[in-house]
Amino acid sequence: MKRALLAVALLLAATGIAPAAEMPAAIRTELLALYDKYNAAAKKGDFKSAMALRTTKRRADIDKALKNPKEKDFANAMLRYVPESYTVEHAELAEDGNTAEIETVAEFIAPPHVRGKGDVPADGKVQQEISLAFVKEKGAWRYDQPTWGPRVGSIKACDEAKAAKEEDFDDAKELTLGGMIRRVVFADSYTVFVARVVDEENCLYLPDKAALQQAGLNTDLLVPRAMFEAEAIKHRSDEQRVWVTGLSVGK
């Protein structure tokens, strides 16, 4: 364990970069108003007005798809597929001030032909994570594109309240993984942070906070939304749990 703690402490000390700050309230309000205006126009079928709010590149991509017989129907359907409502989870502005991203959980009404099929309820109401990208063009913000995340309820969760110790993991089963920290728990006997790969969460365990600090680790770096890369060993029986043996944290 001492070797693992040393690796963690050295790597974290070398890459101690805090996560990006929240977007200023005025810009957030402006971008959400832009997105609402786009949705209102798209829902009415006023695609001329809606498309005027998109970035130049995205308009070109959509125009190309609409002219392709194989993509036309799908492109038309996606233009109309806008949320009934949404809640903002996080909003982030790039350091240069020219791009922005707003993460939301949105409620959609699925098309009639998929309602009641698979994991889509009969009423068609689904909640889905969606990340909205915005780009500033000639001094004005434009809506770029959505990035679709998993549906709420389909995510295989990892219970960070479940304790674990180093002896529960297999030294022979090594792996590397990385991503964004979503949740962090400093428990009495362990530290754990949660990351997600597509629609499955992973719990990444470390020794308790006091032991980490004694090894020289700046535990203030272990916060939600920080990006990380880790070397780890797998749990002996639970594929969603790993013990961290080397870690770097940054943006």
Is the residue at 13 inside a domain? no
Q: Tell me the Ramachandran region of residue 179: left when phi exceeds 0, alpha when psi lies from -120 to 50, beta otherwise.
A: left
Q: How many domains are there within the chain?
A: 2
Dig out the tokens for 115 from the structure. Answer: 């309602």
Residues 159 and 227 grouped into a single domain: yes
**Contact in structure between 97 and 136 (CB atoms under 8 Å):** yes
Residues 192 and 138 grouped into a single domain: no
- The secondary structure of the chain as a DSSP string is -HHHHHHHHHHHHHT--PPPPBPPHHHHHHHHHHHHHHHHHHHHT-HHHHHTTB-HHHHHHHHHHHTSTTTHHHHHHHHH---SEEEEEEEEE-TTSSEEEEEEEEEEE--GGGTTSTT--TT-EEEEEEEEEEEEETTEEEEEEEEEEEETT-SB---TTS---GGGEEEEEEEEEEEE--EEEE-SS-EEEEEEETTEEEEEEE--HHHHHHTT--GGG--TT-EEEEEEEEESS-TTEEEEEEEEEE-
Residue pLDDT, tens place only, 125-180: 999 999 999 999 999 999 999 999 888 888 899 999 999 999 999 999 999 999 99
Is the pLDDT at 13 greater than 80? The verdict is: no
Residue with more model confidence, 118 or 165:
165
Is the residue at 18 inside a domain? no
Is the residue at 85 inside a domain? yes
Residues 147 and 161 grouped into a single domain: no
Mean pLDDT of 44-61: 95
Residue pLDDT, tens place only, 33-44: 999 999 999 999
Domain boundary among 151, 166, 198: 151
Is the pLDDT at 11 greater than 60? The verdict is: no
**Which residues are CB-neighbours of 203 under 8 A, at least 6 positions away?**
158, 159, 160, 162, 164, 192, 193, 194, 240, 241, 242
Residue pLDDT, tens place only, 190-199: 999 999 988 8
Is the residue at 8 inside a domain? no
Dig out the tokens for 65 from the structure. Answer: 């798809």
Q: How far apart are CA 38 and CA 32, in angstroms?
A: 10
Residues 145 and 239 grouped into a single domain: no
Residues 179 and 104 grouped into a single domain: no
Residues 180 and 99 grouped into a single domain: no
Is the residue at 16 inside a domain? no
Is the pLDDT at 226 greater than 90? The verdict is: no
Measuring CA to CA, which residue among 86, 76, 67 is closest to residue 42?
76
Give me the sheet containing 85-93, strands edge to edge.
Answer: 85-93, 99-109, 125-137, 140-151
Residues 47 and 144 grouped into a single domain: yes
**Contact in structure between 160 and 138 (CB atoms under 8 Å):** no
Is the pLDDT at 223 greater than 70? The verdict is: yes
**Count of residues in the chain:** 251
Mean pLDDT of 208-227: 88
Dig out the tokens for 39 from the structure. Answer: 């949705």
Is the residue at 14 inside a domain? no
Portion of the chain with pLDDT greater than 90, in percent: 66
For residue 161, give the CATH number of its domain: 2.40.50.140
**Residue range(s) defining the domain that contains residue 117:** 25-151
Mean pLDDT of 13-31: 72
Domain boundary among 151, 184, 218: 151
Is the residue at 47 inside a domain? yes
Is the residue at 128 inside a domain? yes
Mean pLDDT of 49-65: 96
Residues 109 and 204 grouped into a single domain: no
Residues 144 and 198 grouped into a single domain: no
Domain boundary among 120, 151, 182: 151
Residues 126 and 176 grouped into a single domain: no
Residues 64 and 175 grouped into a single domain: no
Residues 175 and 203 grouped into a single domain: yes
